Amino acid sequence: MKRLTSSVPTFDTMLLPTIQALQTLGGSGTTEEIYDKVVQLLNLPDTVLEILHGTTSQTEVEYRLAWSRTYLKKYGLLQNSARGVWSLVSTSINLDDLDAKEIVKAVRDTHKNKATQSESTDADVTVESETLEELTWHQQLHKLLLSLTPAAFERLAQRLLRESGFIQVQVTGKSGDGGIDGVGIARINGFLSFHVLFQCKRYQGSVSAGQIRDFRGAMQGRTDKGLFITTGTFTRDAIKEATRDGAPPIDLIDGEQLVQRLKELGLGVKITMIESVEVDTNWFTKI
């Protein structure tokens, strides 16, 4: 595994490509858009993109790229909204004026000055508590998803679709049904509706283009829209196959998107707001 992860670009080597990706995207982009553009800029092969980070559903590239965004934000070059959209703080950033090593050094020096903490054992990054908490709930939820029985995972997908606005969602899960696990009706603004067939894959591996083609074959003559949900990831070829011109489109939800969607909908995830109280000493001097 060490040899495999050594082929993944380190977070610091993806700092400038992240800036370049956002510039190409017009100054802002979602996490997925930034990922796709960085992968394209670095020409990373599927063998690298499919390497998972530990036992999570997140790939090693996604994990390290998240640290790249964090460092760029702390350095003052990026900002992000509550909706997960990242943007450059300035449209006049010149890549030639930036040095990845200087960015890393500046962020780490600032961190050391703010508080005396033990250094991370990770050679690439200094792990902060907020990011550890994020990784912890991700890992815990992903582990729970993998422990579900196939029937329970199908019921979870059913609940997920219902909470997302689908109606008449039914789990079929019949053997010999070409991998079709269920069907539902998606409603758009209360006026338009269309039938969607969905398939659930509960495992850590990557869904291949062949599996997408098999799913589409099972959809033939039954619907023009498909949804593929997995706790794992999709290969680059699978993503291309899902949106191939002239073929019925298939929407994809990977493990990372799945846990985020469960969080947004409050399904099996509770968000606790912590109250922060600060005493204003200046106020008392004015009495």
Higher per-residue pLDDT: 131 or 220: 220
Structural contact between residues 219 and 197, judged by C-beta atoms closer than 8 angstroms = yes
Res 203: pLDDT: 82
Angle at 58 between CA 54 and CA 61, to 5 degrees: 90
Structural contact between residues 180 and 225, judged by C-beta atoms closer than 8 angstroms = no
Top mean-pLDDT range of 25-34, 44-53, 65-74, 173-182: 65-74
Q: Which of 261, 200, 210, 262 is nearest to 231 (CA)?
A: 200
**Residue 14 in this model has a pLDDT that exceeds 60:** yes
Q: pLDDT-derived band of residue 287, with 50, 70 and 90 as boundaries? A: low
Residues 6+ apart with CB under 8 A from 58: 52, 138, 255, 256
Annotated domain spans of the chain = 2-127, 146-265
Res 120: pLDDT: 45
Is the domain spanning 2-127 CATH 2.70.70? The answer is: no
3-state DSSP call for residue 207?
A: strand
Domains 2-127 and 146-265 equal at CATH topology level:
no
* Record: fold of 146-265: Trna Endonuclease; Chain: A, domain 1 (3.40.1350)
Identify the residue whose tokens are 């990026």.
Answer: 78
| CA distances for 102 relative to 72, 79, 98, 107, 193, angstroms | 11, 19, 8, 9, 53
